[in-house]
Amino acid sequence: MKAARLERYGVLALRDLEKPKPEPGERAVLVRVRATSLNAVDWYGFSGRPYIARPLMGLRNPRSASLGSDFAGVVEAIGENVREFAIGDAVFGCEGGAFAEYVVATKAVERKPANLSFEEAAAAPLAALTALQGLRDHARLRPGQRVLVNGASGGVGTFAVQIAKAMGADVDAVCSTRNSEQARLLGAEHVFDYTREDFTRRGLRYDVLFDNAGNRSWLSMRRVLTAKGVVILVGGPRRKRMLGPLGHVVRVRAASTLNGHKAVFFVAKPNRDDLAILRDLIEAGQVTPLIERRYDFAQIADALRAMSDGHARAKIVVSI
């Protein structure tokens, strides 16, 4: 099979590898990947940034040559004791090494939403799981609460607006001029164009600030929180080579402890149950994956380079 391999930081090439298969006793399915999508974690691995993470990723060269997590495709083989799936089932999910023609999926795999193409389904898993788990598990979002999504474009941001709305919240959004109409169509009631106005100076208060941009200080974010408001830290500036978004996360979390507010940083945990929730939301028309750009598998390195500015409008998808 063909698989994208990270030969050194910034250099990704398609190589011929042996097709994987479920190990004896492993509850897993072999998926023929039809499409994958790109996430920020893939760009960090590809670029070798932030440098502070190099001891884990590899100082001079990457320790792991595999990249990718999102996939959508067709089950080609099933492992022992697998009863949930059959050969030929269309599925989607998360698994390391998904930038390949085949992937062995273990825990985070579920039937593909019936109303999506493989490319659309591949755009959903990790970004949508991040939005869902951030709002449900860490913000404890309840119907009727007010949510502000700072950074409402890109993969996670577009899902955060829709999922918050589906959970019964009143949702506002912060994005650039070119993405304002998109945010409104996704369900945002008021959209702040950050090139023209400062959302922290409007006197509005929110129960949840879903911070997908990482471009505001704690003092400014605190101005928009209710007394028990919480900040969910998801994204941050990519261009800072040494610390990346980690500097912002550390500063905000440290400052938040001084006045009783809560700031949470987390890493999404892909699992089948949450994928099923996302599938149901998608099939009900409450959540729709958005695709900004599509690439062929041979162009996957170009697709990763296109993420470098951190200003995506939606997801980047690669057809395999």
- Would you place residue 65 in the very low, low, confident or very high pLDDT band (cuts 50, 70, 90)? confident
303 membership: H or E segment, kind and range = helix 300-305
- Would you place residue 243 in the very low, low, confident or very high pLDDT band (cuts 50, 70, 90)? low
* pLDDT at residue 57 greater than cutoff 80: no
pLDDT 10s digits, 70-102: 999 999 999 988 999 999 999 999 999 999 999
pLDDT of res. 311: 66
Higher pLDDT, 14 or 48: 14
pLDDT 10s digits, 206-240: 999 999 988 888 999 999 999 999 999 997 766 66
How far, in Å, CA of 87 to CA of 93, rounded? 16
**Residues 146-166: what's their mean pLDDT?**
96
The Cβ of residue 191 has, within 10 Å, a number of other Cβ atoms equal to 23
Domain architecture of the chain: domains with CATH:
2-124+289-319 (3.90.180.10), 127-265 (3.40.50.720)
| Encoded tokens for 313 | 């409008």
Q: Which amino acid is at 144?
A: G
Which one-letter DSSP state was computed for residue 59? S
- Whole-angstrom CA distances from 52 to 59, 139, 259, 262, 274 are 10, 28, 29, 26, 32
* Of 235, 217, 226, 236, nearest in space to 169 by CA: 226
pLDDT 10s digits, 6-20: 999 989 999 999 999
| Encoded tokens for 290 | 């958005």
Q: Which amino acid is at 310?
A: G
Peptide bond into 50 cis (omega under 30): yes
Contacts 24+ apart (CB under 8 A), 171-176: 171/146, 171/147, 172/146, 172/147, 172/148, 172/199, 172/204, 172/206, 173/148, 173/149, 174/148, 174/149, 174/150, 174/199, 174/213, 175/151, 176/311
pTM greater than 0.85 (yes/no): yes
Give me the residue label for tokens 């039937």.
Answer: 111
CB-CB contact of 280 with 254 (8 Å): no
| Encoded tokens for 319 | 């057809």
* Average confidence score pLDDT of the chain: 92
How far, in Å, CA of 235 to CA of 193, rounded? 18
